[in-house]
Structure 1
Amino acid sequence: MTDSPLHFDTMQVHAGTAPDTATGARQVPIYQSTAFVFKDAEHAARLFNLQEVGYIYSRLTNPTVMALANRITALEGGVGGVCTSSGHAAQIMALYPLMAPGRNIIASTRLYGGTVTQFTQVFKRFGWSTRFVDIDDEAALRAAVDEDTRAIFCESITNPGGHITDIPMVARVANAAGVPLVVDNTSASPYLCRPIELGATLVINSTTKYLTGNGTVTGGAIVDSGKFDWSAHPGKFPSLTEPEPAYHGLRFHETFGPMAYTFHSIAIGLRDLGMTMNPQGAHYTLMGIETLSLRMDKHVKNAMAVARWLEADPRVGEVTYAGLESSPYFARAARICPKGAGAIFTFQIKSGYDGCVRFVNALKLFSHVANLGDARSLVIHPASTTHRQLTEDQQRAAGVAPDYVRLSIGIEDSRDIIADLDQALNG
């Protein structure tokens, strides 16, 4: 292997892994084991004291899962990463070291409906609160921050509307407030968007989506940039800067420096929350990532063709795809996602809510599922499904009014995708 920095297409195949030292296996083995044998009592003690990196128990670390975490970390350009059981688990895990009862986060109004529910309902049980702000409004973002704010949260390409977030602008607000910026990069993947290079502190992904790419397993990942100085804000992030009773007073940032957040997420987060990815799921995702760039190029090419066709169709109203020159986010997309504006977006059906229902029922090639990022083309009517729990005002703020349908464009032949949309719109 060359000592020069590797390009993305090479990293997605090789990063974070090497042939198995015991057998020479080229593909990462599935280490389907709950526990790992210690060399001796002193070795065990060093591992439990965080004095040595190694494997103890698969709730904490597992070689297959760690290989995946290392590969995603390399692709996102971070210093350390942790994998979780789902994207939702990654959201909780990402915020866990930062938060405490009475603290709040600032979040974009343009978020996946399940995330909005998690942030408004589940977080209450932790004593956390969320303030939702139009992520394009810099003044509103700055005004929303107070002394109890501990993070700003947004999506790079929003689900479901395909809105592109101005990550550098949001990063400036976060930096001025002395809080980390957490970016959900699921809809873009690290191939289309590089949040850390744009100023993000932490990046999360639902590996269920484009990273795996075949709709087989759920998973999540958190990648730390290693660039945030936790100790520069005394008393603000005590989990990372103050003595940890469970490790004899160890201070994570003082001890581990740029790797403090990653070590805390494993030693405290996974240990206590148990949101662990299983090794077989990690194996599927590792295989999926090997073709990520190839798939994303086809996803984007097809999405552009479909969006242009829909925009010209008289049965259709607004098409939200940021890759269209008519989109208010077209210029931003070229800056934030230079390789393409992704493959999810919404479009308006002029026959209204009932027309959306008829359309979804009439599709044949598309799969009607609550998922995105599959190799197959997928469809859903958010107002009656993923965003059903929200009020109509919240739906509209998220970009999913009742007469909008979300598409996740797959890698089939675009002519077949368009033909299916055409016949369904006639329904």
Structure 2
Amino acid sequence: MEKETIALHGGYDKKSGFGSMSVPIEQTTAYAFRDAEHAANLFSLKELGPIYTRLTNPTTDVLEKRFAEIEGGASAIAVASGQSAIFYAIANLAEAGDNIIISNKLYGGAVTLLAHTIKRFGIKAKIFDCENVDNLESQIDDKTKAIFFESLSNPQIVVSDVDKIVSIAKKHGVVTVCDNTVATAALFNPISWGVDIVVHSLSKYTDGQGRAIGGIVVERDGLNEFFSSSPRYTHFSMPDESYHGLVYTSLPLPCFCLRIRLALLRDIGACISPFNAWLLINGLETLDLRVEKHSQNALEVAKFLEAHPKVKSVNYPALKSSSQNNRVEKYFKNGSASGLLSFDVGTYEEAKHIIDSVKLFSVVVNIGDSKSLITHPASTTHSQIPSDELVKSGINPATIRLSIGLENPKDLIADLTQAFN
């Protein structure tokens, strides 16, 4: 089936239960087992089924199956947030003494998590240039466990050189992890380009209305075989003492998300609520239509900004003038680039004036909402990053980020026009 159809029907049998057309919300903490043997069989994986909502839930199960299918993956696990999805993906690969290599252009929360917080777990982060990956291969050593990048970066709106990143990673047997939040599964599927693991903040375009927090991790097919023969990731093919000697790669189930579920989600507990999973299922049903409209509107606004005399530069790769346009045409559906864009004016004072003067845009740090949003990254989402590092990553005090919504673009342009005055 095509993605639009999967988004409406994937992972759910409407002939089960009462035949509800809307996926039911299983809003429960725990589940009654048939008997003691049934409970024991579930915990030992002799039978599969819900045990406790921290681990599994029927509503969340639909979201996971549907999203995995849309991303072209073998399995998925939904978690509490996009940040927890990133943490689980990396913690599932690396341990104290290891290192990861991360893109120089990432969401600020990802930077602080991967370069600072995870350092306290004994995992070091190295930096590579996701546009020109010449400095990537030389940084890989026998302790490198992941290469992490965004398919479309926030807020620089840069398209990573996915082909080269994947080629280098496969040469050295290192797992690639791609955050596909901004591009969305509607426009780009990293797994089809050789990426191993995909993560999303579902709070953004998947929800689409700023209602629910959630994240997801998706794994490609074939990771069981990869981990079975890899000297880097022996914890997948060695007995797990915390789960009575379970060997993840020996099971007929995709092992990456399974290990997150049985070890990390079990112990750390950053799980998604069934109600949020239900909201995200409903958001997913219209993702393709919404992203198409977000992209069309964003292109119109980007063209307006590009021609405005007070704008120094515009970052939106669907613009024909963009140095990133060839990659958008190569990787993304119909050469679209989602609804996120950024632009620079002359000074911080000018940027502040514009943000304070808009009437239709809302000053909000979320993205992917049906309503248009505006923010100043250097003082909000990326404010924990030192100023010199910000400038190196393409963010300066005069940078404004827009998340273009579903309004008529004429109204958005009119609002920005009056804000410039």
Indicate yes or no: 2:41 matched with 1:55.
no
| Partner residue in 1 for 2:150 | 155
**Shift in Å, 1:23:** 1.5
Aligned to 2:115, the other structure's residue is in SS state helix
Indicate yes or no: 2:344 matched with 1:348.
yes
| Partner residue in 1 for 2:202 | 207
| Partner residue in 2 for 1:233 | 230
Contact 1:84/1:220, CA 8 A, preserved across alignment: yes
Structure 2 CA distance for aligned equivalents of residues 168 and 49 of structure 1: 40
**Mapping for residues 407-418 of structure 1, pairs under 5 Å:** 407-418=402-413
Indicate yes or no: 2:22 matched with 1:32.
no
Q: Which amino acid aligns with 2:51?
A: I
Deviates more, 1:245-254 or 1:178-187: 245-254
Contact 2:302/2:314, CA 8 A, preserved across alignment: yes
Q: What do the CA deviations read for 1:192-238 (whole angstroms, capped 9, x no partner)?
A: 1110001110000000000010000110000000233012213x213
| Partner residue in 1 for 2:134 | 139
Structure 2 CA distance for aligned equivalents of residues 210 and 185 of structure 1: 11
1:220 counterpart (198, 215, 226): 215
2:300 counterpart (299, 305, 327): 305
| Partner residue in 2 for 1:338 | 333
| Partner residue in 1 for 2:289 | 294
Q: Which amino acid aligns with 1:131?
A: K
Aligned to 2:21, the other structure's residue is in SS state coil
Structure 1 CA distance for aligned equivalents of residues 67 and 6 of structure 2: 9
Q: What do the CA deviations read for 1:249-285 (whole angstroms, capped 9, x no partner)?
A: 121012236x111211111121011010000001111
**Shift in Å, 1:20:** 6.1
2:250 counterpart (251, 254, 263): 254
Aligned to 1:388, the other structure's residue is in SS state coil
Q: Which amino acid aligns with 2:251?
A: T
Structure 2 CA distance for aligned equivalents of residues 91 and 181 of structure 1: 12
**Mapping for residues 14-413 of structure 1, pairs under 5 Å:** 14-19=9-14, 21-228=16-223, 229-234=226-231, 236-256=232-252, 259-339=254-334, 340-350=336-346, 352-413=347-408
Contact 2:343/2:400, CA 8 A, preserved across alignment: yes
Q: Which amino acid aligns with 1:169?
A: K
Structure 1 CA distance for aligned equivalents of residues 131 and 140 of structure 2: 15
Deviates more, 1:390-399 or 1:168-177: 390-399
Contact 1:347/1:406, CA 8 A, preserved across alignment: yes
TM-score by length of 2: 0.97
Structure 2 CA distance for aligned equivalents of residues 396 and 176 of structure 1: 32
Alpha carbons of structure 1 residues 378 and 20: separation in structure 2 relative to 1, 3 Å: farther
Contact 1:138/1:173, CA 8 A, preserved across alignment: no
Structure 1 CA distance for aligned equivalents of residues 220 and 160 of structure 2: 19
Aligned to 1:196, the other structure's residue is in SS state helix
**Shift in Å, 1:317:** 0.8
| Partner residue in 2 for 1:3 | none
Structure 2 CA distance for aligned equivalents of residues 396 and 51 of structure 1: 54
Contact 1:97/1:239, CA 8 A, preserved across alignment: no
Structure 2 CA distance for aligned equivalents of residues 382 and 247 of structure 1: 43
Aligned to 1:157, the other structure's residue is in SS state coil
Structure 1 CA distance for aligned equivalents of residues 418 and 158 of structure 2: 27
Q: What do the CA deviations read for 1:321-353 (whole angstroms, capped 9, x no partner)?
A: 001111111011101113311211210112x11
Deviates more, 1:102-111 or 1:13-22: 13-22
Contact 2:208/2:369, CA 8 A, preserved across alignment: yes
Structure 1 CA distance for aligned equivalents of residues 252 and 246 of structure 2: 10
Structure 1 CA distance for aligned equivalents of residues 368 and 345 of structure 2: 23
Structure 1 CA distance for aligned equivalents of residues 242 and 394 of structure 2: 44
**Shift in Å, 1:354:** 0.8
Structure 2 CA distance for aligned equivalents of residues 157 and 48 of structure 1: 40
Structure 2 CA distance for aligned equivalents of residues 194 and 11 of structure 1: 14
Structure 2 CA distance for aligned equivalents of residues 52 and 104 of structure 1: 37
Q: Which amino acid aligns with 1:164?
A: V
Contact 1:166/1:336, CA 8 A, preserved across alignment: no
Q: Which amino acid aligns with 1:67?
A: V
Structure 2 unaligned regions, length at least 5:
none
Contact 1:18/1:26, CA 8 A, preserved across alignment: no
Contact 2:301/2:413, CA 8 A, preserved across alignment: yes
Question: Alpha carbon RMSD of aligned pairs, Å?
Answer: 1.1
Q: What do the CA deviations read for 1:110-152 (whole angstroms, capped 9, x no partner)?
A: 0001111111221022111111111123320001111110000
Alpha carbons of structure 1 residues 29 and 349: separation in structure 2 relative to 1, 3 Å: same
